[in-house]
């Protein structure tokens, strides 16, 4: 913190907080921890278990979406007006992470209270629609119009995890100011000694990390490996959970023990990233892709889908590590070529590790704090510290980072 600057009071508003590997939630947890370590007071408003610095909101179910959201480990939060208003009364900035009902109500209440609002673009319309089998452009445009009208265009600043994400919102008509801030790479994602790697059977280890959902295209990777001329040499490890888990396990059954499915917490991924000979990211829809960043930090070579709806191809070190989204034959050919050219993979480890240095989370935190201070000044919000208020009934809130 610069001399003369007082700590900020920040409300982090997001539906899910506990037991999830959703990228937006993981990113928010990381930034919250760093903000608290730097001396800022962060109040989290979310569903889940009580903990210091958190106001607990109850869950609600959306009838048509409840099953798939449960499988994705993502509960929706009920936006209790009284709890939100009471929590916001002690804040300098409100940061909304998701454009769902909680986020919509939080933006409205914050604006009524004269508080500056920052929102982050974590969720593309295609994330929602592809998961329920809708690929209609008119529906995509409608969802974006709702996002913009209710959250993003009502924000003082929209944080975009990549230049691609910023361009997507602008393409759909965003008028609010934006700042591009990567989710960032924590320092623990780095090479570790081989003695700490998992035993992957001595085969060529292909790793895929991500939610087991339609847009991630794990099905394409499984099929590509089944068609590989080196299938017998490959050990596939898929880490994640989601609505397609059983379907993908059935699809991979012909691979036998050469296909493993795991669900791990983010920090447990580090040994697997290190042990992977190749990470494959076949997703069609991404605003940045934290799993590829993490793999890069550990020095894992990454083979990435080039998709018009994804930012992830920005990380590829060359065309050898790109394939067209949905192109199974090209993916198989690229995997086979890389297996046959281990020297290319050795060089790629060094190049990916070096490229990851540009995405340090400390730099992202500095940019995020700059956004907070700028919007707070713009709203005249360097208010005198308020006396602590008792948390609303049904909530738990204690000053964080103290």
State pLDDT tens for residues 198-216: 999 899 999 999 999 999 9
Q: At what angle do helices 81-88 and 101-112 cross, to 10 degrees?
A: 50
Question: Which of 258, 212, 211 has the alpha carbon at shortest distance from 235?
Answer: 258
Is pLDDT at 234 greater than 70 in this prediction? yes
**How buried is residue 320: exposed, middle or buried, by Cβ count under 10 Å (0-12/13-18/19+)?**
middle
Is pLDDT at 42 greater than 70 in this prediction? yes
194-358 is a CATH 3.20.20.70 domain: no
| φ, ψ for residue 343, nearest 5 deg | -65, -30
Please give the average per-residue pLDDT across 352-371, as a whole number: 98
CA atoms of 276 and 296, how far apart (whole Å): 11
Residues 6 or more apart whose CB falls under 8 angstroms from that of 2 comprise none
Is pLDDT at 401 greater than 70 in this prediction? no
| φ, ψ for residue 49, nearest 5 deg | -80, 150
Report the predicted TM-score, pTM, of the whole model to 2 decimal places: 0.90
Question: Which of 51, 65, 56 has the alpha carbon at shortest distance from 14?
Answer: 56
Please give the average per-residue pLDDT across 346-371, as a whole number: 98
Residues 6 or more apart whose CB falls under 8 angstroms from that of 294 comprise 185, 189, 209, 266, 269, 270, 273
Is-contact 258 282, C-beta < 8 A?
A: no
Please give the average per-residue pLDDT across 151-176, as a whole number: 98
**How buried is residue 171: exposed, middle or buried, by Cβ count under 10 Å (0-12/13-18/19+)?**
exposed
Question: Which of 156, 161, 24, 45 has the alpha carbon at shortest distance from 98?
Answer: 24
Q: Is 205 strand, coil or helix?
A: strand
Q: Which two tokens stand for residue 196?
A: 């700490």
| pLDDT for 378 | 83
| pLDDT for 321 | 98
Q: Is 299 strand, coil or helix?
A: coil
CATH superfamily of 9-184+360-378: Glycogen Phosphorylase B; (3.40.50.2000)
CA dist list (Å): 67 to 17, 72, 188, 330, 401: 19, 9, 34, 34, 36
CA atoms of 62 and 183, how far apart (whole Å): 29
Ranges of CATH 3.40.50.2000 domains, the chain: 9-184+360-378, 194-358
Is pLDDT at 63 greater than 90 in this prediction? no
């Amino acid at each position: 913190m610069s001399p003369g600057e007082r700590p900020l009071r920040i409300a982090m508003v997001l539906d899910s907080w506990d037991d999830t590997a959703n990228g937006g939630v993981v990113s928010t947890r990381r930034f919250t921890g760093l903000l608290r370590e730097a001396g800022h007071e962060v109040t989290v408003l979310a569903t889940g278990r009580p903990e210091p610095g958190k106001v607990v909101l109850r869950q609600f179910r959306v009838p048509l979406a409840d099953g798939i959201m449960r499988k994705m480990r993502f509960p929706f939060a009920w936006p209790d007006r009284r709890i939100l208003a009471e929590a916001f009364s002690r804040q300098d900035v409100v940061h909304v992470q998701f454009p769902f009902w909680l986020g919509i109500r939080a933006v409205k209440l914050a604006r009524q209270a004269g508080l500056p609002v920052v929102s982050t673009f974590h969720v593309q319309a295609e994330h929602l629609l592809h998961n329920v089998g809708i690929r209609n452009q008119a529906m995509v445009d409608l969802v974006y119009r709702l996002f913009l009208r209710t959250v993003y265009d009502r924000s003082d600043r929209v944080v975009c995890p990549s230049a691609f994400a910023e361009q997507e919102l602008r393409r759909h008509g965003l008028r609010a100011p934006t700042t591009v801030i990567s989710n960032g790479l924590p320092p623990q994602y780095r090479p570790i000694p081989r003695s700490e790697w998992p035993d992957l059977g001595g085969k060529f280890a292909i790793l895929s990390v991500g939610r087991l959902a339609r847009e991630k295209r794990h099905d394409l990777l499984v099929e590509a490996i089944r068609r590989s001329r080196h299938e017998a040499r490959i050990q596939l490890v898929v880490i994640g959970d989601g609505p397609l888990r059983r379907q993908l396990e059935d699809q991979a059954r012909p691979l036998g023990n050469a296909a493993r499915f795991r669900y791990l917490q983010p920090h447990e991924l580090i040994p697997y990233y290190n042990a992977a000979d190749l990470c494959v990211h076949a997703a069609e829809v991404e605003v940045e892709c934290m799993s590829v960043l993490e793999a890069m930090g550990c020095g894992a070579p990454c083979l990435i889908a080039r998709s018009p709806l994804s930012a992830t191809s920005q990380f590829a070190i060359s065309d050898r590590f790109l394939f067209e989204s949905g192109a199974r034959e090209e993916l198989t050919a690229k995997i086979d070529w890389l297996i046959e050219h281990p020297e290319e993979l050795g060089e790629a480890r060094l190049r990916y590790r070096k490229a990851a240095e540009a995405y340090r989370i400390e730099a992202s935190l500095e940019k995020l704090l700059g956004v907070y201070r700028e919007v707070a000044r713009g709203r005249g919000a360097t208010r005198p510290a308020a006396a602590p208020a008792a948390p609303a009934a049904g909530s738990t809130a204690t000053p964080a980072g103290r």
